[in-house]
Structure 1
Amino acid sequence: MYREKYDRIAGFYELLERPLDRFFNPLRESAVSLAEGKTLEIGVGTGKTLRYYPQDVELYAIDGSEKMLEMAKKRAKELGMDVKFKVAEAESLPFPDDFFDTVVSSFVFCTVPEPERAIEEIKRVLKPDGMAIFLEHTKSESELVNYLFLLPMKLILKPLLDDDPLRDTHKLVRKHFKVEKEEAYYSGVVRLIVAKNDKD
């Protein structure tokens, strides 16, 4: 189970990710800076995104790993932020229907065990016309990139973190939300998707 795996590596997780930060942090900032109103971040991890949120956002954050969440809490305190943290799974969000103006997911859906169910939960807790922001690892449109880069990554990351970088998360988002903007980076290996909850 991914929770136990992330608990085990929480102490050195950021060290493992540091080589990618110069590529991903600008994208995190672009994604998170769009948040408005009452906002939920799913899979907040160690809290790398926290410093990018607008000051007027009322922020809630969940993660399945208690150890990772402890690090996020420490970071929020250092930043002087008031964040409501909960240990929870994306597939079972502990919030009422139509509760949030914005939901943010940053590099999460490659690890979520049941992505379809998690998407349905995001729709449920979002207000009608609420905004969903996804910054995700996704399968590339290039089969060569998938074969030479993402498949080897999956062979390493799947046993280590239950991470599957070959998921079609962008297609799942399109299925359930009205996409307003989609930007592909690095041959589609990373995508930023901004979507509206068009439920009646």
Structure 2
Amino acid sequence: MNNFKTYNRIARLYDLLDLPFEYGRYRPLRRVLFSRLSGTLLDAGVGTGRNFPFYPDGSRVTGIDLSPAMLKRARLRKHKLGTEIDLAEMNVIKMEFADDSFDGIISTFLFCVLDADHQQPALEELRRVCRPDGTILILEYVLPESPLPRFIMKLWAPWVRFAYGAEFDRHTEQYLEAAGLELVSKEFLYKDIIKLLTVRPDASGRPRN
């Protein structure tokens, strides 16, 4: 994956760089996301473990990430908070789980860092490991329609690309149908720049190549 080196490099500073956004923007969104899930869960792209405080009681959670350095930070947070979670170094486009392993899957800003070639393979893998009646939640940034906020985000884009390997305009929903997923709903959780896709496996068939 192109961002392997990026996240190993930035892991030590990641939480510090993200701190204003975490407390000013993300924490209420995480609470909303995990209020909608239960059972056996996959946190895909677990990062440094910012989702840990919001896991629903009684759920069994597995978190994966490609970056060993990010997982090291996640393990430190796990021990500090006493979070019940299994952590594994794993590539989202080639996961080692059996089919139909999870009742719910959460992806917070993972697809922002996956380039176009990896979007559909990653979605196909999420579909494969999600149970037929399960739910997949995908949180991502988008460019707003309003001229001034759009202009400001475009100014930020080169830094975000350098520091995080992320983009604001991945348009992940365009890959859902080909990956064998059905869009249940699309909603904005923060202004018109952070979007939540609620999807589920399409019962009508497998991914379309």
Tell me if TM exceeds 0.5: yes
Cα distance in structure 1, aligned partners of 2:120 and 2:90: 17
Residue matched to 1:156: 159
The alpha carbon displacement at 1:198 in A equals 2.5
RMSD over aligned Cα atoms = 2.0
Cα distance in structure 2, aligned partners of 1:134 and 1:145: 26
Cα distance in structure 1, aligned partners of 2:53 and 2:187: 22
Cα distance in structure 1, aligned partners of 2:47 and 2:29: 16
Question: Is contact 1:109–1:169 with CA below 8 Å preserved after alignment?
Answer: yes
Cα distance in structure 1, aligned partners of 2:192 and 2:153: 11
Is residue 189 of structure 1 aligned with residue 190 of structure 2? no
Runs (5+) with no aligned partner, structure 1: none
Equivalent of 1:179, from 175, 178, 183?
183
The alpha carbon displacement at 1:106 in A equals 0.3
Question: Is contact 1:38–1:100 with CA below 8 Å preserved after alignment?
Answer: yes
The alpha carbon displacement at 1:193 in A equals 2.2
Residue matched to 2:207: none
Equivalent of 1:48, from 33, 47, 50?
50
Percent identity among equivalent residues? 28
Cα distance in structure 1, aligned partners of 2:176 and 2:52: 23
Runs (5+) with no aligned partner, structure 2: 205-209
Residue matched to 1:127: 131
TM-score by length of 1: 0.90
The alpha carbon displacement at 1:173 in A equals 4.1
* Count of aligned pairs: 199
Question: Is contact 2:10–2:163 with CA below 8 Å preserved after alignment?
Answer: no
Residues 184 and 53 of structure 1, relative CA distance in 2, 3 Å threshold: same
Question: Is contact 1:61–1:85 with CA below 8 Å preserved after alignment?
Answer: yes
The alpha carbon displacement at 1:50 in A equals 0.9
Task: Report Cα offsets for 1:109-142 as digits up to 9, x if no partner.
Answer: 01023111101110011111211011111243x1
TM-score by length of 2: 0.86
Residues 149 and 90 of structure 1, relative CA distance in 2, 3 Å threshold: farther
The alpha carbon displacement at 1:10 in A equals 1.0
